[in-house]
């Protein structure tokens, strides 16, 4: 095959980097399962009609065509073609409706899978990446308490990832109803439009957003500035949130008995519950931050973004919210709440910024040396004895000079090299050498154990 | 979202079925890593030029197009378009060439990932499925001993899968050089053609194959029958193989000093080594079976297929071979040998034929009951205490009647329900009930442990 070439936006890890990604995945799975989430995997493709329905990413879909169909793709309407999923929420909604009879509700699920976005290559963004999601889906209704529990599960998961170099994470929460009520109270009607522009605040700044609100969302200058004031509001507890919000409503003449205020208050009460309950369980892990808007338009209540201390440039690394209308079947609704970690970006940060790295490339603790090819069976036997006791072992690729065999172990980071006894020598014993410490001693494949510190492939962070 | 619909060829497991698949994946990963294989993951897409180069599946590729490109797909030649990989060998070859400077050779890698084949939907075959592969790739050369070690790693992996209901597996090995030498000795020249037709033997029978050999591969009736005689040859050890083969050569006047015989003998020696060495380590696990041809044309030496006792209809569940020319860069060659398990079909067999099933849907061992919503924090605290000690716990979704909460646990298969103490009652203690045995006793979330048999989500096989 000709020399391969990397494809922009499709990251691939080297073996030692993959160790870090795999540990991150294992850790997340462990936390999700400890919390009673059920693992599923959905097919990589969905019908175009499903993919096109919701969300701003609908323009970044990869559609599929069979080789035989090339040139005739247009014969099939896009809605009937297959496309790669761009997130794990749309597939979950479809899965829940399709299998509702076989699921127990509320259905708590975790899912770690690749997703694809057909972005323009030149942007340097990932077009293939791994997401790690948790969601809970109700049948008909879904209690509010999941809106605080799910971000807290993610916080505990991200806390566990600090051993791989991740800084402390803080969830910033808002509620769509709070924003909508306030905007309506100001007299605005293009709620989705306002949310979409507010979502750009961190990227383009307040003045640009104000301009967009005036130009595209029917706001006058005062209304635009009021929206921005709301977006500046943050609070660490429900009382502070409530006081600041009411002061803002008073300033902008939003009457506390208006429909708009009532809607906003509904959102505010949920948000206050979330920050207060989170503070009880994990102080400082969740704050109210009213600029959080989430571009995707399927959210209907709580919305979350998560930021890492000292890594603002990364943006939100774990986002989500409550969506009451994504899945339905006839009269039946399946409201949900969930969050998604952008895992590939996180691993990239760990590797390239935090200095996380595997202690060795190979999972093997031991390389069994081979004195000559005729004796390879003896070395294989030793390796199999070690493996049967759970000790990962490799066998030297060739009966090269011993120095070359040790160099192979060293290159793979394998800490021990095993020297089989010379079969021609009476009473000769196997020996094992730790090539890191130089320590060498007699050993029996039926009972020897590696020192704990050298037993496992691990990930450490540079000091 | 509208009601979802399953898409033919894209299987999806229910949560309890996914438990089985996940355990199978975990088990394979464990075996592969015990044997010193390094885990990698490659991107799902390759350049069309890579995908089209080799292999009979080249006509079953899914090509991608961005939504914005719809209608203009033909502007880009297929070679420059992206397509989903149809196996894990072609991506490995590309990965090795691309990253050769960062890898230690021989490079032993495992890889478990989805692959896609753009087959016609009506065939009822999987178009998306999981493959589990091991390969070893050399830099320049690759010792023969891997041609026996790799099938044996797969045999030990398949042996471990017997706990999920898999019957005993036997690897059937052949060697392309042996077949080619014999065919050339007969006077045939369209070697790839003959191999392709012989590969159909199990499906269409000897008479049909003979007809195809005559009609399409330039064979006369006698040559065709000789090819079929070779295909009938099986042997459990090298001596038997050698004797039978030489008898066949004598019968068909293939001189033992001809170039053709020398080539065949080269393949025979490797094959004899494989069955003899395998017999020493795992008697009965590998046999020589000269009808094994493997349609894919990138194999150059050993080829393997694996069959399960009493499950002939499944066909080969683990196939592969040696390929010396798949990856190269300038003058440098990267010969490889590897095998691939068709994991999705295997899991399907375990679930639907062998009766493998999870003991419970939820990973949680415990459901903590909630007496009323105001006390939910107390239940969350108990669950978190259990989780911090590695015990997976869920909390009741609502403070419904106790019977309803127990029913929820039962539906998810959660064996224990935890009753928090009544906070208003002095000295009251938590209690935990095993809802399978009915046993109920006082418990402390800081120290309680589930009985071993109920502690973990496991997979069992129906008697």
Split at pLDDT 50, 70, 90, the class of A2 is very low
pLDDT in tens, A390-423: 999 999 999 999 999 999 999 999 999 999 998 8
Find where tokens 């120095």 sit: A403
pLDDT value at residue A427: 87
Residues 14-73 of A with CB under 8 A from B: 14-15, 18-19, 21-22, 33-45, 47, 49-50, 53-54, 58-68, 70-71, 73
Least reliable range by pLDDT among A151-160, A163-172, B122-131, B270-279: B122-131
| A15-19, A254-258, B102-106, B317-321: least confidently modelled range | A254-258
Between positions 68 and 87 of A, the ones with CB within 8 A of B are 68, 70-71, 73-74, 78, 82-84
**pLDDT score of B123:** 62
Residue of B nearest to A98 (CA): B4
pLDDT value of position B122: 63
CA distance A217 to chain B (A): 26
CB of B407 within 8 Å of a chain A CB? The answer is no
Write down the pLDDT at residue B342: 95
Hey, is the C-beta of B104 within 8 angstroms of any chain A C-beta?
Answer: yes
pLDDT band at A463; cut points 50, 70, 90:
low
Question: Tell me, what's the pLDDT at B5?
Answer: 55
HEC sequence for chain B: CCCCCCCCCCCCCCHHHHHHHHHHHHHHHHHHHHCCCEECCCCCEEEHHHHCCCCHHHHHCEEEEEHHHCCCHHHCCHHHCEEECCCCHHHHHHHHHHCHHHCCCCEEEEEEEEEECCCCHHHCCCCEEEEEEEEEECCCCCCCCHHHHHHHHHHHHHHHHHHHCCCCEEEEEEEHHHHHHHHHHHCCCCHHHHHHHHCCHHHHCHHHHHHHHHHHCCCCHHHHHHHHHHHCCEECCHHHHHHHHHHHHHHCCCCCCCHHHHHHHHHHHHHHHHHHHHHHHCCCCEEEECCCCCCCCCCCCEEEEEEECCCHHHCCCEEEEEECCCCEECCEECCEEEEEEEHHHHHHHHHHCCCEEECCCCCCCEEECCCCHHHHHHHHHHHHHHHHCCCCEEECCCCCCHHHHHHHHHHHCCCEEEECCCCCCCCCCCEEEECCCCCEEECCCCCCCCCHHHHCCCEEECC
Task: Give the nearest chain B residue to A101 (CA atoms).
Answer: B14
Is A67 in Cβ contact with B73 (below 8 Å)?
no
In angstroms, what separates the C-alpha of B42 from chain A's closest C-alpha?
6
B460 is in an annotated binding site: no
pLDDT tier at A247, thresholds 50, 70, 90: very high
CB contact (8 A) between residue B67 and residue A60: yes
With CB atoms and an 8 Å threshold, state whether B4 touches A71: no
SS3 call for A214: helix
Is B270 annotated as belonging to a binding site?
no
Interface of B with A in 284-323 (CB under 8 A): none
Distance CA B361, CA A39 (A): 9
The chain-wide mean pLDDT, for chain A, equals 93
- Indicate yes or no: CB of B68 within 8 angstroms of CB of A397: no
List binding-site positions of A for L-histidine: 87-89, 117, 131, 135, 294, 298-299
Q: How high is the pLDDT of residue B2?
A: 33
Tens of each residue's pLDDT in chain B, 463 residues: 333 457 889 999 999 999 999 999 999 999 999 999 999 999 999 999 888 875 544 568 999 998 888 878 878 888 889 999 999 999 999 999 999 999 999 999 999 999 999 887 666 689 999 999 999 999 999 999 999 999 999 999 999 999 999 999 999 999 999 999 999 999 999 999 999 999 999 889 999 999 999 999 999 999 999 999 999 999 999 999 999 999 999 999 999 889 999 999 999 999 999 999 999 989 999 999 999 988 767 899 999 999 999 998 899 999 999 999 888 888 899 999 999 999 999 999 999 999 999 999 999 999 999 999 999 999 999 999 999 999 999 999 999 999 999 999 999 999 999 999 988 888 899 999 999 999 999 999 999 999 999 999 999 998 6
Structural domains in chain A plus CATH codes: 10-168+316-358 (3.30.930.10), 170-308 (3.30.930.10), 366-461 (3.40.50.800)
Among B25, B30, B38, B145, the residue to mutate for chain A (most A Cβ within 10 A): B38
Average pLDDT over residues A364-379: 95
* Cβ separation B93–A1 shorter than 8 A: yes
- Residue B127, annotated ligand binder? no
Least confident of A170-184, A276-290, B4-18, B448-462: B4-18
pLDDT of residue A350: 96
pLDDT reading at A296 higher than 90: no
> B393 and A35 in contact by Cβ < 8 A?
yes
pLDDT value at residue B4? 44
* pLDDT value at A53 more than 90: no
Cα separation of B151 and A364, whole Å? 19
pLDDT for A72 equals 82
A404 CB within 8 Å of a chain B CB: no
pLDDT at res. B3: 38
């Amino acid at each position: 095959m000709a020399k391969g070439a990397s494809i922009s936006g499709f990251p691939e890890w080297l073996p030692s980097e993959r160790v870090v990604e795999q540990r991150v995945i294992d850790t997340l799975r462990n936390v999700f399962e400890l919390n009673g989430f059920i693992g599923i995997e959905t097919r990589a493709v969905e019908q175009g009609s499903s993919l096109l329905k919701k969300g701003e990413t609908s323009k970044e879909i990869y559609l599929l065509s069979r080789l035989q169909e090339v040139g005739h793709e247009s014969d099939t309407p896009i809605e009937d073609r297959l496309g790669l999923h761009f997130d794990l929420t749309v597939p979950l909604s479809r899965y829940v409706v399709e299998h509702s009879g076989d699921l127990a509700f509320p259905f708590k699920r975790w899912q770690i899978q690749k997703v694809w976005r057909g972005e323009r290559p030149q942007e340097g963004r990932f077009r293939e990446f791994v997401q790690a999601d948790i969601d809970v889906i109700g049948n008909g209704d879904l209690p509010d308490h999941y809106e605080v529990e799910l971000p807290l599960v993610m916080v505990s998961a991200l806390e566990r990832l600090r051993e791989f170099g991740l800084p402390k994470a803080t969830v910033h929460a808002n509620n769509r109803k709070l924003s909508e009520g306030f905007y309506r109270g100001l007299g605005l009607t293009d709620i989705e439009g306002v949310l979409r522009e507010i979502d750009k605040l961190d990227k383009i700044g307040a003045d640009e957003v104000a301009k967009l609100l005036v130009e595209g969302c029917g706001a006058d200058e005062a209304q635009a500035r009021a929206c921005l004031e709301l977006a500046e509001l943050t609070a660490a507890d429900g009382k502070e949130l409530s006081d600041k919000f009411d002061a803002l409503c008073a300033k902008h003449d939003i009457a506390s008995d208006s429909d708009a205020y009532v809607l906003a208050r509904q959102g505010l009460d949920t948000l206050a519950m979330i920050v207060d309950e989170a503070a009880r369980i994990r102080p400082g892990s969740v704050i109210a931050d009213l600029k959080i808007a989430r571009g995707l338009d399927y959210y209907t209540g709580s919305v979350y973004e998560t930021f890492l201390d000292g890594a603002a440039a990364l943006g939100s690394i774990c986002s989500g919210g409550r969506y009451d209308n994504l899945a339905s079947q006839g009269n039946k609704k399946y409201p949900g709440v969930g969050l998604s970690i952008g895992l590939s970006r996180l691993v990239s940060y760990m590797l390239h910024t935090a200095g996380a790295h595997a202690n060795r490339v190979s999972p093997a603790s031991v390389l069994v040396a081979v004195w000559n090819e005729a004796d390879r069976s003896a070395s294989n036997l030793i390796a199999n004895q070690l493996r049967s006791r759970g000790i990962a072992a490799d066998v030297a690729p060739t009966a090269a000079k011993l120095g070359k065999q040790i160099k192979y172990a060293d290159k793979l980071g394998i800490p021990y090299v095993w020297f089989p006894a010379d079969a021609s020598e009476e009473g000769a014993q196997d020996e094992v050498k730790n090539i890191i410490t130089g320590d060498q001693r007699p050993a029996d494949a039926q009972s020897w154990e590696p020192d704990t510190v050298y037993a496992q492939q691990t990930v450490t962070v540079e000091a």
